[in-house]
Amino acid sequence: MDRQLIGKEAEQKALNYIRQQGLKLVTANYHCRLGEIDLIAKEKKTLVFIEVRARSHQQWGGASASVDLRKQRKIAKAAAHFLSTHREYRNTSCRFDVIAFETKPHTDTGDSCPVWYKDAFRPEATF
C-alpha cells in the first residue's frame, strides 16, 4: 500500500476517533504556503490542531516520534496562518495534539489503535 493511501486512511480513522470523543471538526487537510494541518477541531472552547501519523514499524522511533521539532514548527506556522485568516477564532485557546497509529494491532483485522497525545507540543510563539 502506498504512503499517501496509508496517510489518508489514518486521517479518516483519526477523524472518526475524535468525533467519538466529542470533538467537532472545523476543517481537514488545511493547506497554506507555510504548511499543512491534518485536522482542526473544537473541543469545548479549545481549538485543537491535530497531526496524524501512521507507521508500520518502530524504526526511528515510530509514528509519534516522527513529529520532530522541524515538523512542529511547520504545524505552528500553518496554525498561525489559519488563525490570522479565521478571525472568529482569534480569542480561542489552542492546543497541538498528535494522533499516532503505532504498529501494535488491536483487532483481528490488523488495525492499529490510535494513541492520542493531547497537548503534544507547544509552539515557540504564543498565540
Render pLDDT for 82-98 as a digit per residue (tens, 0 to 9): 999 999 998 999 999 99
CA angle, residues 118, 13, 69, in degrees to nearest 5: 40
Write down the pLDDT at residue 81.
96
Write down the pLDDT at residue 106.
47
Render pLDDT for 60-70 as a digit per residue (tens, 0 to 9): 555 666 788 99
Helix (H, G, I), strand (E, B) or coil at 112: strand
CA–CA separation, 24 and 44 (whole Å): 9
Continuous segment of H or E residues that includes residue 127: none
Q: What is the mean pLDDT of residues 97-115?
A: 71
Write down the pLDDT at residue 107.
47
Instruction: Identify which has the larger pLDDT, 25 or 110.
Output: 25
Structural domains in the chain, CATH included, are 3-67+89-117 (3.40.1350.10)
Give the pLDDT band of residue 102 (cuts 50, 70, 90): confident
